[in-house]
Amino acid sequence: MKKTIVSLVLGIALFGHTGSLPSQGQSPGAEQPGAKLIVEPPAPELLAKGLVSIQYRTENVRIMPVFGPDALKITPRVGHLHVRLDDAPWGWTYASGQPVIVNGLSPGRHRIQVELADANHQALAQNVVEFEVPQR
Ligand SMILES: [Cu+2]
């Protein structure tokens, strides 16, 4: 049997790849257009290998590893994702902009909740993907 592990690919090494930070001190986040989160179902060809790769995109929020109340003043708005697997009491934070990747799930039904949060961790939008990892 293939050895399985859970790996949470955070993409932390990609910090800074977008260049300079957005300007600060302009209009507060509440006056910006509404945040949207679009989450795609996992790619089936990867699911067959036990690899869950979830693509997503956001509108009116840029995913960046910038946190705290002061970051709410940044325009355009910045934020990150809160990801939770199978309604676990814990979750993890995604701030790289890369796909959400989980490896080594057991066969069967699973769900991943993706929440789009502002820089101060308040939810702006949420989406849930449900999928089945096939037997291998
Ligand atoms: Cu957060």
Q: What is the CATH number of the domain that holds 110?
A: 2.60.40.10
43 alpha carbon – ligand 1 mean position (Å): 26
- Domain annotation covers residue 93: yes
9 alpha carbon – ligand 1 mean position (Å): 17
Helix, strand, or coil (residue 85): strand
- Domain annotation covers residue 116: yes
Q: What is the rounded CA–CA span in Å between residue 29 and residue 61?
A: 10
80 alpha carbon – ligand 1 mean position (Å): 6
Q: Over the stretch 81-125, which tens digit does the pLDDT of each residue have?
A: 999 999 899 999 999 999 999 999 999 999 999 999 999 999 999
- Domain annotation covers residue 119: yes
Rg of the chain over all Cα atoms, to the nearest angstrom: 16
Q: Over the stretch 42-67, which tens digit does the pLDDT of each residue have?
A: 999 999 888 999 999 999 999 999 99
Answer for the pair 94, 113: CB distance below 8 angstroms, yes or no.
Answer: no
45 alpha carbon – ligand 1 mean position (Å): 31
- Domain annotation covers residue 53: yes
Q: What is the rounded CA–CA span in Å between residue 69 and residue 130?
A: 33
- Domain annotation covers residue 73: yes
- Domain annotation covers residue 57: yes
49 alpha carbon – ligand 1 mean position (Å): 30
120 alpha carbon – ligand 1 mean position (Å): 6
22 alpha carbon – ligand 1 mean position (Å): 19
- Domain annotation covers residue 85: yes
127 alpha carbon – ligand 1 mean position (Å): 15
- Domain annotation covers residue 19: no
> Could you give the number of structural domains in the chain?
1
Beta bridge partners of 128: 113
Q: What pLDDT was estimated at residue 50?
A: 86
104 alpha carbon – ligand 1 mean position (Å): 25
Question: Domain range for residue 113?
Answer: 26-133
Buried/exposed 82-98: b ≥16 CB within 10 Å, e otherwise? bbbbeeeeebeebbbbb
116 alpha carbon – ligand 1 mean position (Å): 8
Q: What pLDDT was estimated at residue 23?
A: 44
